[in-house]
Structure 1
């Protein structure tokens, strides 16, 4: 298996880096995170209109670019490096994957073009009151009648307060289904503060909200959607881990102690070498999982679980070392090391903890009982 990037993929990476270098400086990231939307609207327009970042994994028949989840992973890796807040994960990954996996061509034709061009922000209301993204049900109940209606609560909804398209995971009498909310304004939305200020979460409360079923037997589709989501987060983590390493190496060449740069001390060289190993292996596992997602390979569940566990642990290690080797300055609000640290802790909980993914991997590989 060859993970060498094609010319088109290399151009995507170069373009993402150039755009984010111009528009996602440290101060710009903080301003965007503190804004009402939670992300930089002008940067989002550039990314969607000029780079086409939201269209990468959406098929051409739905207004997309017709690439794969691998290219989306490359874009998320770049966003992770620059710590830039963006609705890409919620809209063009979670919600888009739910619509695509539902197999509802009519809904795809209506909803996906707006998502692809970035004019619509979509999200997936899934996690229950315990913050669990289960595939057997959710905290929302769907009731059939003249129209389907939704009642209940979804937590940790990514970019939930700014989304104009809401797809919901809801429990039905026959199992779990995927629903398109017909009146998004009827949902009560409350912002949920997050440790990582570059993420925006909300709690959504449904009270007889009209909805249209996209798929009524969605358990297996939700497994696939969750795998795509954790692969996307793994790519984000790999990019942030690279940022932590680069930040630490740069500081080690600037900080002088005992008359010499601290990067010249052998003990710190070893620690940074260990960080490099974590970064490179995280990127490898994330890319392997993204390749499986992009090619719809049968080994996606194993690759996704492996990437989720490894990349979470790798970023946690890199973030810890970043803080340690920067000293006291790293725990101040003014320094970006705290953003790396918070990103590690936030993404380490998103869609499950590393230990949960390891347990699942053991079951998938037949090592531990299911």
Structure 2
């Protein structure tokens, strides 16, 4: 298996670096994170309209570029390196994957073109009140307005940790039904109550969404297997983001070690620090290999995607944690000041290490898939139905 980039992929990375070098400086990133939207709208338009970052994994028949999730991973790695905030993860990964997994071709034709060209910002309301992204349930309950499963539905309940949930104009929700868990398009986004949720990483925006008899349309009702795939795609995307941030931490540490002088020598000349930065390089390169392998599986819809996604999620989160800690240590006291970007890398590491599950949880999931850990006992039948309200 050859993971060397093609000419098109290299050109994509080169273009992204040129754009982000101009528009995602440290000052620009901080200004964007403090803005009302939480990201630079001008930079997003450039990336979406001129580079086409949101269209890469969307098929051409729905207004996309017809590439794969691998190319989207390359974009996220570049954004991770520059710590640039933006709605790509929420809109072009989570929401786009949910719409692509729907059984509603009319919804794909209507929703995906806007996501692809960046004119529509979409998100997926999924995590429950505990902050868990379960593939078998949700903090939202969907009830059909009439008997049967067809027609319109109403949503009640809440979802937490919704990426860019306060500013998204298109909402897709994961909701429990009497028969299982489904994907729903929110028909009246203005009827959803939205509350911003402060995050450790100021470059990532979360919101809590509350639904009270909000009208919705079913995109897919038997969505358990689809949610497994959506979660795998999401954790692969986060892994790519973490690889980029880890590379930034390594580069910053190497540069600083050449500039900082102690005892009449650049600190990078001390053997102890050389060894520590060599270990950081190993963490970055192994994380990149793991993330790219998982992104390749996502892009080719390979059967081994669940195993590779869980492996990448666990390894890349731990690698970024290690690199971020070393970055702070090598920079010393300046690293814990607000003015220095080392604190942004540290916060990105801690924030993303819990996104869509912890590394411990992903290792356990991988162990179950490999037969090393016994599967947990299934929940008693009928439990969800007992909690469901009657249809009106």
- Tell me, which stretches of 5 or more residues in structure 1 are unaligned? none
CA distance in structure 1 between the partners assigned to 2:103 and 2:12 by the alignment: 28
SS of 1:249 mapped into structure 2? helix
What's the counterpart of residue 329 of structure 2?
324
TM-score (ref. length: structure 2):
0.94
Instruction: Report deviation, 1:105.
Output: 1.0
* Equivalent in 353, 356, 373 of residue 351 of structure 1: 356
* Paired positions, count: 370
Aligned residue in 2 for 1:172: 177
Matched, 1:185 2:190: yes
What pairs with 1:330-349 in structure 2 (closer than 5 Å)?
330-349=335-354
Q: Corresponding residue for 1:19?
A: 19
Aligned to 2:158: 153
**Cα offset, 1:37, TM superposition:** 0.2
Q: Deviations over 1:254-313 (max 9, x none)?
A: 000000000000000000000000000000000000000000000000000000000000
Distance 2:277 2:245 in 1: 15
SS in structure 2 at match of 1:124: strand
* Separation in 1, partners of 2:76, 2:163: 15
- Once the two structures are superposed, what CA deviation does each residue of 1:112-152 show, in whole Å capped at 9, x if it has no partner? 00000000000000000000000001000000014300000
Moved over 6 A (4+): none
Q: SS in structure 2 opposite 1:156? A: strand
Q: 2:277 aligns with which of 250, 272, 277?
A: 272
Distance 2:305 2:318 in 1: 20
Deviation at 1:104, TM superposition (A): 1.8
- Partner residue in 2 for 1:360: 365
Q: Show the counterpart of 2:128.
A: 128
> Equivalents in 1 of 2:110, 2:244: separation in Å?
33
Matched position secondary structure for 1:267: helix
Query: Radius of gyration: which is bigger?
Result: 2
Q: How does 1:2-13 map to 2 (within 5 A)?
A: 2-13=2-13
Q: Which residue does 1:90 correspond to in 2?
A: 90
Show CA shifts across 1:148-203 (max 9, x none).
Answer: 00000000000000100000000000000000000000000000000000000000
Indicate the residue corresponding to 2:245 in structure 1: 240
Gaps in structure 2 of 5+ consecutive residues = 147-151, 376-392
Q: TM-score by structure 1 length?
A: 1.00
Tell me by how many angstroms 1:207 deviates: 0.2
- Work out the CA distance in 2 between the residues paired with 1:197 and 1:174: 39
What is aligned with 2:255?
A: 250
Which residue number in structure 2 is paired with residue 67 of structure 1?
Answer: 67
Deviation at 1:321, TM superposition (A): 0.1
The corresponding residue for 1:35 is 35
User: Matches of 2:140 and 2:372 in 1, distance apart?
Assistant: 34
SS in 2 for 1:102: coil
The offset of 1:103, in angstroms, is 3.1
- 2:61 equivalent to 1:56: no
Helix, strand or coil: the match of 1:135?
Answer: coil
Other structure's SS at 2:101 match: helix
